[in-house]
Chain A
Amino acid sequence: DAGVTQSPTHLIKTRGQQVTLRCSPKSGHDTVSWYQQALGQGPQFIFQYYEEEERQRGNFPDRFSGHQFPNYSSELNVNALLLGDSALYLCASSGLVFTDTQYFGPGTRLTVL
């Protein structure tokens, strides 16, 4: 049973650039949520996708956008990168029954120079 997968594992970008992170949910899951985790902090909710639409959004600027594909995989895009965007980006998936029980992927470590 494949768990949540994310790519790439690590990424280094410079200020002002754009980045795309990818996530495939756990088998049988149809909902994908994205979180940002800064060093020493708990994960912060960015947004959630269900049926290819953004269902909920946290307190993140419009520079953060996403997409969900028909196969339930998802992308997180961040434009005009800032130094403060450096963090571990986590994707979590959940299923139809316990919709708030979320399983995390390994994360993408983004460093903005």
Chain B
Amino acid sequence: QKEVEQNSGPLSVPEGAIASLNCTYSDRGSQSFFWYRQYSGKSPELIMFIYSNGDKEDGRFTAQLNKASQYVSLLIRDSQPSDSATYLCAVTLRNTDKLIFGTGTRLQVFP
């Protein structure tokens, strides 16, 4: 079982729709949870981080964490073609700053 799992996609949504990206993790000792966006040929860019159960909103982005289900998600409202990228989920374990990444979900937003 992989430590962090994501559906590779592609996830295709029309412009203006809500994109829902999901991630599961295997270690219950996971402490912090991150979403990075990576455009083709570029480096990962931090979008959101969440530490506690529940929702965290930042502009068009909402991160949701459910530690009991070992599940973290990212919602993108009013999706734009410029949101088309690979979204990487990452977690850190307690007492370590090592980021453990999933393989990413490719999102395509079509006009």
Q: Could you list which residues of chain A lie within 8 angstroms of chain B, going by C-beta atoms?
A: 31, 33, 35, 40-45, 48, 56, 58, 88, 90, 92, 94, 98-107
Contact = CB atoms under 8 A, between A and B. Distances in A.
B101 interface: yes
Given A90-B44, A105-B43, A106-B43, A42 B102 contact: yes
B44 A43 contact: yes
Contacts, number: 59
B60 interface: no
Interface residues on B, range: 20 to 34
24 contacts: A40-B103, A42-B101, A42-B103, A42-B104, A43-B44, A43-B88, A43-B101, A45-B98, A45-B99, A45-B100, A48-B98, A56-B97, A92-B99, A99-B97, A100-B31, A100-B32, A100-B99, A101-B34, A103-B46, A104-B36, A104-B44, A105-B43, A106-B42, A107-B43
A40 B10 CA distance: 13
Contacts of B45: 104
Contacts of B44: 43, 90, 104
A98 B47 CA distance: 15
Given A41-B103, A42-B88, A102 B97 contact: yes
